[in-house]
Amino acid sequence: MKLFLDKYASLNSPIHSWEQKPKFIALMSLIFAFAFTESLFLLPILIIITSIFFCLSNLPLHFLVSRLRYPGIFILGVVIILPFLAGETIIFNWGFLSLKLEGILTVILIVVRFFCILTISLILFGSAPFTTTLKTFQSLGISPIINDMMLLTYRYLEQMGDRLLTMERALQLKGFNSKKFNRRNLKIIANLIANLLIRSYEDSKLVYQAMILRGYGAKINHKNSTNKINFLHWLSCYAVVIISISLMVVQYLWR
């Protein structure tokens, strides 16, 4: 299993050349503004802004689609039943099922916000190496321990996924059929999960011991060698933040 979150971090685009710190502040402000949006008339603006940033990033469309697939399955389970439960204005009856206008409008709002927020997040984390993003977190005041945990989690999730695939193939070669739902298969799957967790725990102990032997945790005074960020990068950041604040103000006044 490969996450490949920063697979296209080496592309040449205006978003990739944007310094990560102002880019992080700008795009996070957009994400919060999108999450704050509750008015349908603002949704086209959200889609236009998201489309502009995605086009500027030069990220392939299949990269976006592949990352939206699994979260999309989760959100699909919510939006399918919502038009039949939320609201009072019935627009269609079929037996005991009633399709309601308010529910449909709520689904449109949820889906558009979900798509825009996830796309902006992928642009943010997919347009720079993951280590650069972690350094940005640290420069913004996030604890180094949390940074280390995120880095190790990102690194070893791939290893756990590869190990899981290896164990699944070994079971299939021994005649295991995952499509059958019975007590024996549930017991095998439970043993597989337990084995994976135990091996991961043992690996984490070995990694921690290796880090300690290499001086991890020692207090070392490092000189701050942060590079000065071009004013144009901050200017772009301020412009995006102003757009985000404007969206939230319009939403607040409309409410």
User: What tens digit of pLDDT does each residue of 26-56 get?
Assistant: 999 999 999 988 888 889 999 999 999 999 9
Distance CA 250, CA 53 (A): 21
Q: Mean pLDDT over all residues of the chain?
A: 80
Q: How far is CA 38 from the centre of its chain?
A: 21
Whether residue 207 is contained in a domain is answered as yes
Whether residue 229 is contained in a domain is answered as no
What's the confidence (pLDDT) of residue 245?
A: 94
- 149 & 116 share domain: no
Q: Is 211 helix (H, G, I), strand (E, B) or coil?
A: helix
pTM comes to 0.74
Highest mean pLDDT among 95-104, 207-216, 219-228: 207-216
Instruction: Spell out the residues 6+ positions from residue 239 whose beta carbon is closer than 8 angstroms to its own.
Output: 26
Whether residue 7 is contained in a domain is answered as no
- H helices present in 60-143, as ranges: 61-85, 101-126, 130-139
What number is the average pLDDT over the span 222-245? 80
- 241 & 152 share domain: no
- 199 & 240 share domain: no
Number of domains forming the structure of the chain: 2
Q: What are phi and psi of 156, to 5 degrees?
A: -95, -10
pLDDT at 118 over 60: yes
Whether residue 225 is contained in a domain is answered as no
> pLDDT confidence of 149, banded at 50, 70, 90?
confident
Whether residue 112 is contained in a domain is answered as yes
- 121 & 201 share domain: no
Whether residue 8 is contained in a domain is answered as no
> pLDDT confidence of 63, banded at 50, 70, 90?
confident
- 97 & 110 share domain: yes
- 240 & 129 share domain: yes
- 148 & 121 share domain: no
* Bridging pattern class, strands 97-100 and 90-94: antiparallel
pLDDT at 241 over 90: yes
- 118 & 244 share domain: yes
In percent, the amount of the chain with pLDDT more than 90 equals: 18
User: Which domain, by its residues, includes 127?
Assistant: 14-138+234-254
- 82 & 152 share domain: no
In percent, the amount of the chain with pLDDT more than 70 equals: 88
Query: Tokens in use for 134?
Result: 């972690």
Q: How far is CA 73 from the centre of its chain?
A: 14
- 151 & 241 share domain: no
pLDDT at 228 over 80: no
- 18 & 125 share domain: yes
What's the confidence (pLDDT) of residue 220?
A: 57
Residue 146 CB neighbour total at 10 angstroms: 12
> Residue with structure tokens 């880095």?
151
Distance CA 53, CA 119 (A): 9
- 133 & 199 share domain: no
Distance CA 166, CA 82 (A): 39
Distance CA 116, CA 51 (A): 9
Instruction: Spell out the residues 6+ positions from residue 9 whose beta carbon is closer than 8 angstroms to its own.
Output: 16, 126, 127, 128, 129, 130, 132
Whether residue 222 is contained in a domain is answered as no
